[in-house]
A and B are shown apart, each in its own frame.
Chain A
Amino acid sequence: EAGVVQSPRYKIIEKKQPVAFWCNPISGHNTLYWYLQNLGQGPELLIRYENEEAVDDSQLPKDRFSAERLKGVDSTLKIQPAELGDSAVYLCASSPLEISSYNEQFFGPGTRLTVL
């Protein structure tokens, strides 16, 4: 079974430029998460999708970040414009439909963003 796929793996951009990250979750997983991981820290949730609906985007800085999951499968996270402080690893995770609070989340390899 293929895991969570993310691309690109690495991205270097100048500040004020836009950038987009793509995620393909595990087949059959209809819950998708985007996390931010700063150096030396644990992941922090940005947004959670159930199918195509963003059910929790309370941690997403909406002035510059946006996300979409149009068909309830792949997802894209965008930053426009990027700032120096956005340099981090952006992780995507997925899980099966939650039937209890014990949901296992499976992470992709992440996209390492460097903003110069």
Chain B
Amino acid sequence: DVKVTQSSRYLVKRTGEKVFLECVQDMDHENMFWYRQDPGLGLRLIYFSYDVKMKEKGDIPEGYSVSREKKERFSLILESASTNQTSMYLCASRGPRDRALNQPQHFGDGTRLSIL
């Protein structure tokens, strides 16, 4: 089974802090994703990466950046946390790239981030 591990289940930070959310997958997948999920808004894609050092903006990238230095790890960075970034953050992986069209995504457990 695919294992996607997020570093924290619950996290509380203060406004203005730089926040790092880490995600690791063990299936050698090329594709990795960061979403946030809010009541009434569903899952929204923040950023995704289809290879090491490659990244593309999703639907709501503002206020976020990402890092993919190693294939198994995809980090989401809140440069200066704000209260409207309080949310559930979900990491996912998918692959391999050449057969990705028929592959589902596998999610981590999620990180509930609160910005005070």
Q: Are A and B co-members of a single complex?
A: no
